[in-house]
Amino acid sequence: MSATRTIAIAKRIVSQFLHDRRTIGLLVVVPVVLLTLLGLLFRSDTPPLPLAVADEDRGATNQTGTISLAKMLTESLERNKDLSIVKLDRAALAGQVKDGKVKGGVVFGPDFSRKILAHEQPAIQIVLEGSNPAVSGSVATALARALREAIPALLTGVAGPANPVGSITADPFKLDPDYIYGNESFDQLDYFAPVAIGFFAFFFVFLLSSVSFLRERSQGTLERLMASPVSRAEIALGYMLGFSLFAIAQGVVLLLFAVFVIHIHYTGSLLIVFIVEIVLTVGAVNLGIFLSTFTRNELQVLQFIPMVIVPQGLLSGMFWPVGDMPVLLKEIAYVMPLTYANFALRDVMVKGLGLAEPQVLFDLAILVAFATLMLAFGALTLRRQVA
């Protein structure tokens, strides 16, 4: 064992890194940026949960006079500082839940008060959007907690101040969840699987095309290609076609596995899922070609993973809904192609929406624009890669 030789190897490694300033920068800068993103995601103040109430309760009469227990419950919800309540009718409530303007809704039926007084345990309808089981679950839990916290006031209202406990059951109502998309059997995997397919396609195709193109350049074959009659557009399109084939094969395997082996729930058209995936892949291939211009070796390609892939994984709505993110992160999310792919894939697979829906078309149009832009960038940088 020679200390001199060991130190010589260590010194060589340090010297190599010192020649590659970008790597040193990334070693420090990228983790700090990613930690900042995570900090913003985890530490952001949670705004009051926006909920809607539809009160159809006609009230009921007891010894204290005519009372509306739904109104009392609503007032109690309004006093809860974790919630932000808007009052709507039943149809508007469903519309706002569907559009994501409110996270959930509470509907008190016309006989709510009467049934409570008759000890019939009426159902309170909890309207949930349902596409994200985590969000639905937390909304349902928050609502259940808030309503149960209101029970003492309710009992006071029923029995009158003189006799607060009254002769009422401990659980005067039951909660009846109603999902606009999916149902209570939807779990996190149903929410995650559609976007995982898009993410894997984007990740692997981006990585493979960057490395392939880097090799094309470093092995000199790109120069040979450019010295042949092939045009830059033909090279970019050829790459795109070649890689898309593998991305589609990967997509088919993942989708069939998700549907038939791990039995995810899905409702929409698998064809549209493929269309979204192909467009996303085209963008990823050309992003890979474009960014490989700025790399000299495989190590530098790998550095694009924390720069390009990880932020998209964090911010594109895979784990945290984009709509619930702080404004700054939301703006970053909206410039990421994966965000639109995730919107589209979930809209199709979880909500069962089709190409006739403007929101799906819009997301697809953004992905097409991204792919076209990257194709142009990829083709334009080809000459620079040779020279």
Residues that bind another protein (CB under 8 A): 219-221, 223-231, 386-387
User: Shortest distance, CB of residue 223 to another protein, whole angstroms?
Assistant: 6
3-state secondary structure of 127: strand
Which lies closer to another protein via its Cβ, residue 235 or residue 280?
A: 235
Which lies closer to another protein via its Cβ, residue 143 or residue 222?
A: 222
* Distance in angstroms (rounded) separating the CA atoms of residues 143 and 51: 9
User: Shortest distance, CB of residue 231 to another protein, whole angstroms?
Assistant: 6
User: Shortest distance, CB of residue 220 to another protein, whole angstroms?
Assistant: 3
Instruction: Report the largest interatomic distance among the alpha carbons of the chain, rounded to a whole angstrom.
Output: 97
Which lies closer to another protein via its Cβ, residue 221 or residue 267?
A: 221
Amino acid identity at 115: K
User: Shortest distance, CB of residue 233 to another protein, whole angstroms?
Assistant: 11
User: Shortest distance, CB of residue 225 to another protein, whole angstroms?
Assistant: 7
* Distance in angstroms (rounded) separating the CA atoms of residues 58 and 69: 9
User: Shortest distance, CB of residue 178 to another protein, whole angstroms?
Assistant: 57
Which lies closer to another protein via its Cβ, residue 230 or residue 249?
A: 230
* Distance in angstroms (rounded) separating the CA atoms of residues 254 and 200: 9
Which lies closer to another protein via its Cβ, residue 30 or residue 225?
A: 225
3-state secondary structure of 244: helix
Q: Which residue has the tokens 């149960």?
A: 148
Which lies closer to another protein via its Cβ, residue 183 or residue 219?
A: 219
* Distance in angstroms (rounded) separating the CA atoms of residues 97 and 89: 12
Which tokens hold the place of 180?
């606009």
* H helices present in the chain, as ranges: 3-19, 21-43, 69-79, 90-98, 112-117, 133-149, 151-159, 188-218, 221-226, 232-256, 270-292, 298-302, 304, 310-315, 327-333, 337-349, 358-386
Which tokens hold the place of 262?
């791990």
* Adjacency order of strands within the sheet including 49-55: 83-87, 49-55, 104-108, 123-128, 174-179
Which lies closer to another protein via its Cβ, residue 104 or residue 288?
A: 288
User: Shortest distance, CB of residue 193 to another protein, whole angstroms?
Assistant: 33
